[in-house]
Amino acid sequence: MLAAGVALLLSGCGLTIPTDPDGTLDRVRSGGTLRVGASPRPGWVEMQGVHAPSGREPQLVEGFAEHLDAEVEWTVAGEEHLVTMLEDGELDLAVGGFTDANAWMDKVGLTRSYAEVDVDGTTEAHVMMVPMGENALQSELERWLDDHGGAS
């Protein structure tokens, strides 16, 4: 009951929940740019020459950007550098075949698993990384992945 009252009070102030402290989702929507980091991983993120990444996750990212009416700006780098860029607010999202057991979970936000894959008898739950605290972006991405991510 108290939570409902607080939510009603906050909605009257123009505050939406979830929210992005840095305004990422609002900045990206309707003609903005989704800044995405990609770390190559066979089957998930492929690099072919100097072109934009291809593969399963870049296709998902392009679809999500289209959903937001945004353009994608790609940065290709190793995981550690992508995490630093997410922490510094230079990226909005990172992909690279990451699983929910990755070493960066205390530095970035992880989406809930959108695909589970059996690898040598072990189930890998795949996630994407977003800046810590950008909850509106993460929620929108998770809803979109629920409908479009699917399992392999």
For 92-128, write each residue's pLDDT tens digit: 999 999 999 988 889 999 999 999 988 899 899 999 9
Question: In this structure, is residue 60 part of a structural domain?
Answer: yes
Could you list the residue range(s) of the whole structural domain that residue 24 is in? 19-148
- CA–CA gap between residue 50 and residue 56 (Å, rounded): 18
Among 14-23, 29-38, 76-85, 96-105, the minimum mean pLDDT is found in: 14-23
Q: Pick the residue with more confidence: 149 or 111?
A: 111
For 34-78, write each residue's pLDDT tens digit: 999 999 999 899 998 767 899 999 999 999 999 999 999 999 999
Q: Pick the residue with more confidence: 7 or 45?
A: 45
Question: In this structure, is residue 2 part of a structural domain?
Answer: no
pLDDT exceeds 70 at position 152: no
Largest CA distance in the chain: 57
Question: In this structure, is residue 13 part of a structural domain?
Answer: no
pLDDT of residue 21: 78
pLDDT exceeds 60 at position 90: yes
Question: In this structure, is residue 23 part of a structural domain?
Answer: yes
3-state DSSP percent of the chain in helix, strand and coil, to 5? 35, 20, 45
Question: In this structure, is residue 26 part of a structural domain?
Answer: yes
The CATH number assigned to the domain holding 39 equals: 3.40.190.10
Question: In this structure, is residue 4 part of a structural domain?
Answer: no
Question: In this structure, is residue 42 part of a structural domain?
Answer: yes
> For the chain, what is the domain count?
1
Residues whose CB falls within 8 Å of the CB of residue 76, separated by 6 or more in sequence, listed in order: 37, 38, 39, 40, 47, 53
Question: In this structure, is residue 117 part of a structural domain?
Answer: yes
- Predicted TM-score (pTM) of the model is 0.84
pLDDT of residue 17: 72
